[in-house]
């Protein structure tokens, strides 16, 4: 019987992966306990779109580090291919890739749902954001032909951290929301007394939609 794999769903414990990387062997998520990490796959080394992505991820590396977030790349290429590609990027584009790149096996790619039969045999552009407890908090998929928006990945991680630390929800396009700007959304009232107290209150459109300034 053919073995089937499902990608980790939001809130799931990220599956344990024993991997080889450009920085040596690692175990995920164990080796990153206590930190957020962004694991992103790319279709292949020495390809144009992937090269632009790695260049852009590295340009934001210090932003991620400042948020206690680690970056991890991945594709079904061997470690020596990753090393040569990283050397090429530094030699030709002047950027040193500082984060590890996993040499994934087909089994790992299947376990993470990164192989989509309708898109060929290369991994699609997947992004997994995992929190310090090893839980999957965000999953994104892009096709091979479209590069990712790095600013959105930075924004999403920042928003997840703000939501966790403040017990709030985050509006669309935060911190530049068209309606409430950089404010955050309070949890909906859970009983009639709290709902009644919110009516007409400053910062509330209604009892179910209240917002506040993030301090």
Q: Which positions are catalytic? A: 50
- List of E strands, the chain: 17-21, 26-28, 36-41, 69-75, 101-103, 125-130, 136-142, 184-185, 204-206, 209-212
In the chain the first and final C-alpha atoms are separated, in Å, by: 55
Question: Nearest to residue 23, comparing CAs of 131, 122, 99?
Answer: 99
Kindly give the pairing relationship between strand 101-103 and strand 69-75. parallel
């Amino acid at each position: 019987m053919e073995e089937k794999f499902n990608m980790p769903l939001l809130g799931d414990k990220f599956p344990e992966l024993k991997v080889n990387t450009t920085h040596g062997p690692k175990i995920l998520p164990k080796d990153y306990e206590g930190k957020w990490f962004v694991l992103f796959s790319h279709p292949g080394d020495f390809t144009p779109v992937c090269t632009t992505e790695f260049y852009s991820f590295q340009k934001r590396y210090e932003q991620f580090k400042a948020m206690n977030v680690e970056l991890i790349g991945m594709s079904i290429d061997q470690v020596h291919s990753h090393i040569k590609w990283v050397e090429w990027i530094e030699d030709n584009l002047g950027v040193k890739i500082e984060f590890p790149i996993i040499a994934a096996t087909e089994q790992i790619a299947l376990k993470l749902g990164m192989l989509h039969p309708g898109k060929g045999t290369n991994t699609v552009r997947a992004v997994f954001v995992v929190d310090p407890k090893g839980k999957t908090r965000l999953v994104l998929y892009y096709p091979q032909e479209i590069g990712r928006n790095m600013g959105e990945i930075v924004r999403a991680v920042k928003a997840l951290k703000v939501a966790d630390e403040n017990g709030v929800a985050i509006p669309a396009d935060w911190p530049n929301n068209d309606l409430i700007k950089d404010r955050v959304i309070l949890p909906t009232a859970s009983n009639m007394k709290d709902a009644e107290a919110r009516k007409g209150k400053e910062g509330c459109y209604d009892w179910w939609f209240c917002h506040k300034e993030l301090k």
